[in-house]
Every structure is written in C-alpha cells, then in structure tokens.
C-alpha cells in the first residue's frame, strides 16, 4: 500500500537516448554539435529554447534525441525540478533517456522527471506508461526522495473506505519494517489512557483510533545522538463531527491525514539516508465522525498533559489529535520536534495551497527549514506565534478552548493552542500544510502531495553535517 515501484527509472544506459536541456543563449553551440539531420530539423522546427519547449530530434533509426528549453536567466543551481516535471508523459511511451550535461543540476532534474511520472494506480491503470530516465551519477538521494513522495501521495490519494485508522497504522508499521525500525501500535484501553484527547476525537467512528509509533536509530547514532521527533495528524476522514462540514467542504477530506503522510515521507528520507540520529515518529490515526459516541460542542476533554479543553467546535479536531502526541514527544526531550497537519483553512487563505505555514518557538530552526526549502524547491513560509492572540483560547470552565471566539488569525490561534502542549526548552516547529495539488502541473499531478517533507529531511541533513553535541 505505501510504496509504488519507480518504473520511471531505468538502468540500461546503453540504449538511452540523449536528453538535452538548454537556455536560448546556449542553443547555437548545441545546434553546431548535432548531426546534420537533427540540426536541419531543429532549424526547420523553429525551436527557440523557450521554457518548457520540447523538440524531438530525428536520427537514422528514428529518434536521435530531444531538446528541452529552460527558463533564463537563472543559475544551474536555481533550475527547479519542475522544469523537467512533465517530460515523462511528453516524451514517447516506451523510450528511455539520459540527461546530457548542461547548464542545470541533473539531480533536481531527475527528481522533477520522476515526480511528474507519478500516477495513482490503485484502482485504475494509467492511460499510458511514462518514458523512463537513467538517473545521473550520485542520484541515490533522488531515488529515495521520489520513493518517499510516491508513498505519501499514495496514502493521501487512497479513498477513506480503503484507508482508515487501522490501515494508516499498518502503513507506518510497513515503513518501519522496511528500515528495521521498532514499531508500537496503541489501541483500546491503553490508547484511552495515554492519549485521552485523541481518543475522544476517534470515539464517534466505528473504526477505532490507533497511534502508531516508529523508533529508529541510524547506524552511526550512539546514545548521545540527537533525537528527532516527528508527529503527524492522521485524520483519515473528517466529517467535522457534530459541527458538520457542508458537503462541498467534505469533498477532499480523505486528505486530512496529509500531515501524517508528509511526516512519514520525511522519516523515510531520514532513514534511507542513514542519518546519525535517533528518530521517533508518532502518527495519530483517527476518523472524525458523527454518532451517539462522538464528542459534542461544549464537552470538556482531558489531555495527556493534564490540561482540560472545552470543545468550542468539533471540527477543530486535528489540534486535539496532535496535543497528546506533542506532549508525549516532549517527555523524551528531543533535540527537535516537528509536527505536520492539514490543520486550518486560514493558512490556505493566507498563503494558498503551495506554501505551508511554518510556526516555531526556535527562530534558528525556522530559518534552517526555510533555507532548506528554498534550496530544494519545497518552500515554507513563516507566520508568527503572536502571543496576544492566546487570550482568545480562554474558557470559563476549562484550561482552554479548542477555538477562538472569533474568526481572526485561525492558523495563528491553532498554532498557539498546540504551543500550550510543548515543554519548556524543546525546539518545536509546526507546519500547517494543504497536502493536495488542485490541478496537474509539471512534476505535481493533481491529487495528494507531500509538502514540506523534502525540506525537513534536507534541513536535518544539513544541520547534522555541522552538529555538535554541545548544541543540545
């Protein structure tokens, strides 16, 4: 369920056709190096190396190769993977290609090619197979990043009747088995005791909640290695509960476990890279439904941390799921704690679908993640943990309410709610993401998406390259 093969990558380099990528200023030099038939066809076609322009070049046995136009003027390091993101289905089916060195970095190019080749195939075969690419030298990280994103996309795209709390927990277990991690699945009375707020969210569904915990250590991680804690909101379907969503707002609620999928993808990349860390991944697997057992507006819930929460709105359930996971993670005193969640429509109203909102109590870590996101074209945008808005979470009968009494700053208020469950001196980052592509674009087919996962893995990898135990 959790991993597609990567049919887009090929190993037979000998039979691969050359794929050139060129900016307009370098087109003349490339033209001069081509065989006469290809050169004459290029001239006749009017190819000008405009961005995304593609020209198939004839050869004696059919195809000689292809040329892709690139945006200009940007440096090789700044060429986004999306420049190569639609080639898998624009190049002829059954063909295999190799990247010819040029004014671009071949590794993001290969990643963009692979991510654009993704299609969700669990219930319907694709209309055609993608063209294949021989990955460049040193591209193992590209393979692993693509595999992680494919896994996350598959999970988000899976219909809720096929992916409930038990199946999502099983997916975490499958991921752990792949990398030799220890797995703990918590359910029943133990879950009620350890995660009372999460249990209350899942009580309305006939499909009982689960918490899946994955623990792993890199081969170079000793006892003093930093502990990285990841937490994901895994609401497999969100009806809104008694504060029922309108039908139009439920259309994509199978994606409400997108934060869990993104954190799983980040964990997969960390483990595949064998980073010298200890890793603890917690996924809260629940369904928010309506029944006689469901939580009600104005109920007061217990939480793992001991705070009581009045339910101002049953559709603000994701923060309740994360609250218990965050509290338990803090008990282990991680060097870094990151949570990911499809938490608020307010974040999307502020930043749109492509920019996850980042909140943090540690500005150094916020800047590390933002910088990594820029480098790997997986962007994040910081919003403030504005403390004055915390007063809006006041309750007359409990320690706090799960919503504000107004409609302002919803993403900030949700982050401030979560902050109440973070222990002092724990570096914490909260990422409010969309987990979905509304339409197909190069490298980003319509459907589930693993926003922020590549940025997280890259930021942790870069930090570890200069990490000193004294930082803890």
Per-residue pLDDT tens over the stretch 66-102: 999 998 766 666 889 999 999 999 999 999 999 999 9
Q: Are 116 and 89 in contact (CB under 8 A)?
A: yes
Tokens of 304: 């793992």
Is it the case that residue 470 has pLDDT exceeding 50?
A: no
Quick check: is 313 in a domain? yes
On whether residue 431 sits in a domain, the answer given is yes
For the stretch 147-173, pLDDT in tens is: 999 999 999 999 999 999 999 999 999
Beta bridge partners of 20: 67
Between CA 435 and CA 356 the distance in angstroms is: 9
CATH number of the domain bearing residue 455: 3.40.630.10
pTM (predicted TM-score): 0.96
DSSP string, 37-80: HHHHHHHHHT----TT-EEEEEETTEEEEEEEE--SS--GGG--
CA distances from 15 to 64, 130, 142 (A): 11, 16, 22
On whether both 114 and 211 belong to a single domain, the answer is no
Active site residue 319: yes
State mean pLDDT over 109-116.
97
Q: Do 198 and 219 share a domain, yes or no? A: yes
Percent pLDDT > 90 in the chain is 91
- Domain ends where: 111, 138, 165? 138
Q: How much is the pLDDT for 262?
A: 98
Asked if the structure places residue 323 within a domain, the reply is yes
Domain that holds residue 466: 144-471
Count the residues in the chain: 472
**31, 215, 245, 441: which one is catalytic?**
245
How confident is the prediction for the chain on average, in pLDDT?
A: 95
Per-residue confidence (pLDDT) for residue 472, from 0 to 100: 47
333 has catalytic annotation: no
Structure-block tokens of residue 73: 């003027």
Torsion angle (degrees, nearest 10) of CA 97, 98, 102, 107: 110
State yes or no: pLDDT of 471 exceeds 90.
no
What pLDDT score does 62 carry? Answer: 87
Q: Answer with the one of 91, 116, 138 that is the final residue of a domain.
A: 138
What share of the chain in percent tops pLDDT 70? 96
Nearest to 341 by CA among 188, 198, 161: 198
Q: Out of 319, 368, 420, 454, which one is annotated catalytic? A: 319
> Is 126 a domain residue?
yes
Domain count, the chain: 2
The whole-angstrom separation of Cα 150 and Cα 241 is 30
32 and 63 fall within a common domain: yes
CA distance 9 to 408: 47
Residues 124 and 233 in one domain: no
Measured CA distances, 120 to 110, 127, 433 (Å): 20, 11, 21
Structural domain includes residue 158: yes
Of 138, 160, 194, the domain-final residue: 138
């Amino acid at each position: 369920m959790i991993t597609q093969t990567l049919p887009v990558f090929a190993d037979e380099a000998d039979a691969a056709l050359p794929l050139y990528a060129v900016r307009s200023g370098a087109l003349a030099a490339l033209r001069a190096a081509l065989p006469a038939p290809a050169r004459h066809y290029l001239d006749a076609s009017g190819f000008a190396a405009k961005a995304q322009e593609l020209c198939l070049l004839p050869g004696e046995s059919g195809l000689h190769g292809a040329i892709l136009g690139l945006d200009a003027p940007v440096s090789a390091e700044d060429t986004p993977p999306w420049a190569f993101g639609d080639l898998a289905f624009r190049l002829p089916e059954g063909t295999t290609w190799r990247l010819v060195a040029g004014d671009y970095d071949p590794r993001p190019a290969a990643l963009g090619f692979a991510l654009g080749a993704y299609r969700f195939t669990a219930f319907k075969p694709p209309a055609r197979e993608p063209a294949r690419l021989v990955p460049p030298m040193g591209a193992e990280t590209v393979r692993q990043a693509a595999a992680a994103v494919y896994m996350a996309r598959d999970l988000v795209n899976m219909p809720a009747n096929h992916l409930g709390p038990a199946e999502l927990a099983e997916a975490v277990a499958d991921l752990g088995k792949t990398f030799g991690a220890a797995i703990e699945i918590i359910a029943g009375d133990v879950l009620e005791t350890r995660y009372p707020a999460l249990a209350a969210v899942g009580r309305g569904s006939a499909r009982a909640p689960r918490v899946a915990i994955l623990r792993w250590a890199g081969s170079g991680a000793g006892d003093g290695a930093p502990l990285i804690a990841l937490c994901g909101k895994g609401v497999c379907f969100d009806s809104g509960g008694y504060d029922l969503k309108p039908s139009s707002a439920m259309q994509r609620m199978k994606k409400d476990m997108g934060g869990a999928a993104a954190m799983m993808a980040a964990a997969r990349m960390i483990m595949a890279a064998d980073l010298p860390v200890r890793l603890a991944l917690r996924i809260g697997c629940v369904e928010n439904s309506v029944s006689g057992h469901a939580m009600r507006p104005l109920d007061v819930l217990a939480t793992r941390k001991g705070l009581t929460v009045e339910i101002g709105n049953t559709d603000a359930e994701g923060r309740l799921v994360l609250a218990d996971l965050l509290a338990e993670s803090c008990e282990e005193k991680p060097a870094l704690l990151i949570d990911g969640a499809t938490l608020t429509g307010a974040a999307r109203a502020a930043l749109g679908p492509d920019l996850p909102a980042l909140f943090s109590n540690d500005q150094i870590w916020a800047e590390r993640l933002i910088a990594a996101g820029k480098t790997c074209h997986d962007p994040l945008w910081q919003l403030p943990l504005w403390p004055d808005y915390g007063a809006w979470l006041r309750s007359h009968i409990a320690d706090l309410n799960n919503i504000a009494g107004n409609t302002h700053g919803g993403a900030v208020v949700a982050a401030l709610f979560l902050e109440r469950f973070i222990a002092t001196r724990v570096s914490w980052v909260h990422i409010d993401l969309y987990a979905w592509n509304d339409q197909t674009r190069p490298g980003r087919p319509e459907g589930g998406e693993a926003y922020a996962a590549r940025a997280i893995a890259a930021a942790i990898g870069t930090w570890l390259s200069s990490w000193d135990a004294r930082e803890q």
